[in-house]
A and B are shown apart, each in its own frame.
Chain A
Amino acid sequence: MALIDLKHVGKTYTSEEVATTALKNITLTIESGEFVAIMGPSGSGKSTLLHILGFLDYPSEGSYHFDGKSIEQYKSTELARVRNKKMGFVFQAFNLLPRTSVLENVKLPLLYSGLKESRWTERALKAIEAVGLTHRVQHEPSQLSGGEKQRVAIARALVNDPEVIFADEPTGNLDSKSGQQVMEIIQDLNEKQGHTIILITHETYTAETAKRIIRVKDGEIESDTAVKKRVDARESFTK
């Protein structure tokens, strides 16, 4: 059974009586353990697709089954729970809480997890270690570089050990060296830890770190191909 199963999904926004179609007729399955890059020019609908996949937005047409269950069958508290337990998000703009330490930022998903508070610090430290920021635990976001901020965001996404990690242009705000470090971590998460990764990017070299590339244009899937010559982020990641 596929982890993610979309059938004829469409999304139309209506604002001030003007309907804008962001997605139409998307049919797509993603298996557990895959590493998928979604590519497309800006305005192509790739972000909308990611939001729908990540339970942050609802499709206006079609069906979406996550883990075998239709999105319509989830109550809003259950959606929150799935986001908390099974999904991790990494955003282009990092979205860390200002004036809050790295440790507290990484703990954030644990607040809503139902896990005993006595275990929060241990879990958060493990996630911080996984992204190599143990020496920055008590720093605040303003004291970190862009690459470090994004690694904190990845640690936050990891802390509940989710099934799937959604990364929306994670390297978009980073220089190439930091971007490479971030992609290394993401690639490892897929290969060594077995996390499903869904990555949005408009850069081909970033997309080619994935195993499969889905190209989106004007709200439709243009192509869906396996990556033949995969880029190893550790070795040849240059602009």
Chain B
Amino acid sequence: MTLKYTFKTALVGLRTNKSRSALTILGIVIGITAIILVMSIGQGAQDLIVGQIQGLGSKTIAVIPGRQPTGPSDVASLFTDSLKQKDIDALERKENAPNIKTIMPVVFGSDSFAYGDETYRGTIFGATDLMQQVFDLHPDQGIFFTNEDVKSRAQVAVIGSKVKTELFGASEAVNQKIKIKEKSFRVIGVLPTQGQVSFFNFDEIVMMPYTTAQDYLFGIKYFHRFIVEADEDKNIGATVKDIERTLRISHNIEDPAKDDFFIQTQADLASTLSTITNVLTLLLTSIAAISLVVGGVGIMNIMLVSVTERTREIGLRKAVGATEGNILQQFLTEAIVLTVVGGLVGIALGALFSFLVSVVLSTYVGLAWKFTFPITASIIGISISGAIGLVFGIYPARQASKKSPIEALRYE
């Protein structure tokens, strides 16, 4: 029997029982829909996170004080005052780290900002004027602070859009004074609305020279971060090594295991987060896959009923010359056509739902969420549903092919 006719026969067989066929594939449809949806949302989340991290500049390297904690009792991870001015001086010497373009020390903390009767609690971010280029921040009212302000510990602040609205409402903020810890800071700039960028919300921030923040607010001599920028992408690895070596000398550390700082590149961060989203996606996909097994058992059940119901047809086909192979092929094709059709419907529904999710997330939640048609997931979905048809169809199909023609013809 030709392949074309096998398909035609299978389609006729399924069409004669339209509503039963539809109900049979429902389990597969739901399973595949769930898989496509989970994989598509997982991919979207990953793209979003990685995109935002890369948006921060792939050439940036963060030097973080303390040690990457290895457990809850790891005291060394608490040495958070290890990054000092002498380290910056050492890193700025070209012979130590030739590929460093800029070094920006950063301090941060959280506190209340006050203007008149209004108060707002947010993040204080002390840095240098390099902040503008590293994070691509440009005030839309007023100006950013300068290197001179950093040197002179000027009591100036650049505020985020949310801070501005909460404290000043619609009125002019530039040149007004806000109070933090009873000290006055003159607002010199207001940032446009940025939204959530990676882990920072720049809308809820007050930025000032790090020197000012250290002296007037935190009372510390050390730094919470160095944000280092390499001159080129390909030099990031070398720069990381240069920084490690320089800081070890500066801190008198011989054994790298006793480092009181650690280095994180954007690439590290992106790959760590990708791993997390991948694991989560895999976990959810596995759960969805269980429903496919249930769907497959449903198919097997209905196929067995169908084989019994069609005993007479099977007997007749055998009497007119069908071999066991022909009958096996016919019922197996029916099972596979069923599951593959279920898979296709599932892919369409899954893609539709994940498109709706992307619309909701980008329109109502304000995330830069992009919808991409889950091609890999679709290929996997089609293969899995075909395989389910094969696995769960083989038993009923064998039952059908083994029927003796006279038993089958006698069947009333």
Contact = CB atoms under 8 A, between A and B. Distances in A.
Interface of A: 51, 54, 56-57, 76-77, 80-81, 83-85, 89, 91, 95, 97-100, 108-109, 111-113, 117, 156, 160
A89 B406 contact: no
A201 to B, nearest CB: 18
Nearest to B326: A112
A57 B408 CA distance: 12
A89 B191 CA distance: 89
A108 B409 contact: no
B321 A112 contact: yes
A95 B4 contact: no
B405 A111 contact: no
A50 to B, nearest CB: 10
| The 5 A-B residue pairs with the shortest CB-CB distance in the complex, in nearest-first order | A84-B321, A109-B320, A112-B321, A80-B323, A56-B405
Contacts of A91: 409
A104 to B, nearest CB: 8
Contacts of B1: 111-112
Contacts of A84: 320-321
B5 A54 contact: no
A167 to B, nearest CB: 13
B16 A85 contact: no
A95 B316 contact: yes
A84 B316 CA distance: 11
Contacts of A51: 406
Chain B interface size range: 20 to 34
A57 B321 CA distance: 14
Contacts of A83: 318-321
Contacts of B315: 95
B9 interface: yes
A77 B327 CA distance: 12
A113 B326 CA distance: 11
Nearest to B4: A117
Nearest to B16: A99
B320 A156 contact: yes
Contact of B321 (A85, A95, A97): A85
Contacts of A100: 12
Interface in B285-342: 312-313, 315-326
Contact of A112 (B312, B313, B322): B322
Contacts of A76: 323-324
A84 B325 CA distance: 15
B2 interface: yes
A108 B317 contact: yes
Nearest to B412: A93
Contacts of A80: 318, 321-324, 326
